[in-house]
Amino acid sequence: MAVGVVDAAIETHGLRRVFKTRKQVVEAVAGVDLTVRTGEIFGFLGPNGAGKTTTLRMLATLLPPTGGKATVAGCDLLTQPDQVRKRIGYVSQAGGSDYEVVGRFELTFQGRLYGMTREAASKRAAELIEMLELEVCADRTVKTYSGGQKRRLDIGLGLVHDPKLLFLDEPTTGLDPQSRARVWDEVRRMHDRGTTVFLTTHYLDEADALCDRIAIIDYGKIVAEGTPEELKRAVAGDVVTLTVAGSSQAALDSLTDQPYVREASIEDGSVRLYVDRGEVAMPAILRQLDAAGLQLLTIGLHRPSLDDVFLRQTGRSLREVAA
């Protein structure tokens, strides 16, 4: 372990991917520069079609980039794909386990693909089954698994060879809250063991709770990058949301030019104000609305969430697009 050296698990420069179909040309990834540090949980956040999966598939050697360079787990992606493959694990959005096959068999087979002997592979399979709490279903075919059990098996398949770097494409999508929490626990445990985890998600709370650093991608480009805290701080200090009895537009118009309001917009019929210091701005807002003859119905003050970051960076609410 090198102390004081921040070495990169992933480094990309101008990574691009263009898909050509008969009807159109899609630039799914439009020049991505990323650095993922060894040992961190890195979250890749973005709406449908933003280019998350495409980026991951390129970094996992599954898809040749149209342009750009990348180093993954210390190896050059373009010239040493075999070396990259030995060092990474990848769990796709679709999963990866076959419904017709027994879980334990899949895990053992996967280990053998990485060169393990039969004994080593079945020992590792047993370990993973215990670690992922799959004892109850390990010896059944996957089609009998619950959603959460299947997801954990999928993750297990990516962990068989104890990779230094693990890619998880939407590991919790479609899971109930309980299964989701278990996947989070699993990711944290990998993190504690020193594995670098690169995961994609639609969920801001997930990125916020789980990730050391985050990049937000939209239309194939990184629009923001940093720790959840940094990103939230980049958005104006606090967020005030309020509703009025009359027209929200009128309230917006009367507030938008006030010196303490950095930015204002209407979201779902309520007025949303980004202000430097909420506790100072609130009384001023009340006075201003009074003066304008608008009756206040509700008012709330909160710290910016990643949703606010997303809204600021992309002009869209993540909740809308992920719905």
Ligand X SMILES: Nc1ncnc2c1ncn2[C@@H]1O[C@H](COP(=O)(O)OP(=O)(O)OP(=O)(O)O)[C@@H](O)[C@H]1O
Query: Could you give the CA distance from residue 14 to residue 20 in angstroms, rounded to a whole number?
Result: 19
Q: Please give the structure tokens belonging to residue 304.
A: 């910016």
Distance CA 268, CA 108 (A): 51
Amino acid at 303: R
**Stretch in the footprint of Mg ion (CB under 5 A) among 47-55, 59-67, 181-189, 243-251:** 47-55
Stretch that binds other proteins, among 103-111, 231-239, 248-256, 305-313 (CB under 8 A): 103-111
Dump the DSSP string for 126-184. HHHHHHTT-TTTTTSBGGGS-HHHHHHHHHHHHHTT--SEEEEESTTTT--HHHHHHHH
251's torsion region: left (phi>0), alpha (psi -120 to 50) or beta? alpha
In terms of Cα–Cα distance, which of 35, 34, 33, 28 is closest to 14?
Answer: 33
> What character string, x for contact with Mg ion (CB under 5 A) and - otherwise, covers 92-121?
-x----------------------------
**53 sits near Mg ion (criterion: CB under 5 A):** yes
Tokens of 22: 């008969």
Is the CB of 64 or the CB of 246 nearer to ligand X?
Answer: 64
Cα 303 to chain centroid, rounded: 21
- What does 157 interact with, of Mg ion, other proteins, ligand X, none (CB < 5 to 8 A by kind)? other proteins
Q: Least distance (Å) from other proteins to the CB of residue 240?
A: 44
| Among 114, 184, 219, 260, interactor with other proteins by CB under 8 A | 114
Of residues 18, 26, 63, 301, which one binds other proteins by CB under 8 A? 63
Which residue's CB is nearer to ligand X, number 21 or number 298? 21
Residue 318 sits in the site that holds ligand X (CB under 6 A): no
Residues 5-34, one symbol each (x = binds ligand X by CB under 6 A, - = not), give --------------x-x----x-x------
**CA separation (Å) from 260 to 173, 240, 277, 318?**
39, 12, 8, 26
Closest among 218, 192, 250 to 314, alpha carbons compared: 218
60 binds other proteins (CB under 8 A): yes
Does 18 bind other proteins (CB under 8 A)? Our answer is: no
Which of the stretches 88-96, 134-142, 271-279, 280-288 binds Mg ion when contact is defined by CB under 5 A? 88-96
Using rule CB under 6 A, residue 99 touches ligand X = no
CA distance 234 to 223: 12
Residue whose CB is less far from Mg ion, 10 or 251: 10
Q: For helices 147-159 and 118-131, what crossing angle results, to 10°?
A: 140
Q: Please report how close the Cβ of residue 58 comes to Mg ion at its closest, in angstroms.
A: 13
Binding site for ligand X (CB under 6 A): 19, 21, 26, 28, 46, 48-54, 93
Binding-site ranges for other proteins (CB under 8 A)? 57, 60-64, 82, 85-86, 88-90, 92-101, 105, 109-110, 112-115, 154, 157-158
Binding residues for Mg ion, per CB under 5 A? 52-53, 93
